[in-house]
Amino acid sequence: MFHTEDVLQLKDDEEVRCIVRRHPSSLAPGLFVALVLIVVPFFLMFPLFGWGVYGAVLFVAAVIFGISAAIRTLLLWDSNVLIVTTLRLVDVDQRGLFSRMVSEAPHESIQDVSWAKHGLWETVFRMGSVKVQTAGNTANIEMKRIGKPDRVAELVNELRRLVGEAKSQESRVRSLESERVKQEKPVGDTVGKIRSINAILESFSFEELAGVENALKARQRASMAEEFFDKDEEGEKE
Q: Please give the model's pTM, rounded to 2 decimal places.
A: 0.69
Cα 56 to Cα 39, 40, 50, 73: the distances in Å are 15, 14, 9, 26
Q: Give the per-residue pLDDT at 71.
A: 94
Q: Give the per-residue pLDDT at 50.
A: 82
| In the chain, beta strands by DSSP E | 16-21, 81-85, 88-96, 99-106, 110-116, 127-134, 141-147
Calculate the CA dihedral of residues 60, 62, 67, 69 and round it to 10 degrees.
150
Q: Give the per-residue pLDDT at 13.
A: 85
The Cα 212–Cα 204 span in angstroms is 10
Task: Report yes or no: 128 and 146 within 8 Å, Cβ to Cβ.
Answer: yes
Q: Give the per-residue pLDDT at 49.
A: 83
Task: Report yes or no: 124 and 148 within 8 Å, Cβ to Cβ.
Answer: no
- Each residue of 172-204: b (16+ CB within 10 Å) or e? eeeeeeeeeeeeeeeeeeeeeeeeeeeeeeeee
Q: Which residues of the chain have pLDDT under 70?
A: 181-193, 201-202, 204-206, 208-209, 211-212, 214, 221-238
Task: Report yes or no: 151 and 82 within 8 Å, Cβ to Cβ.
Answer: no
Q: Give the per-residue pLDDT at 33.
A: 93
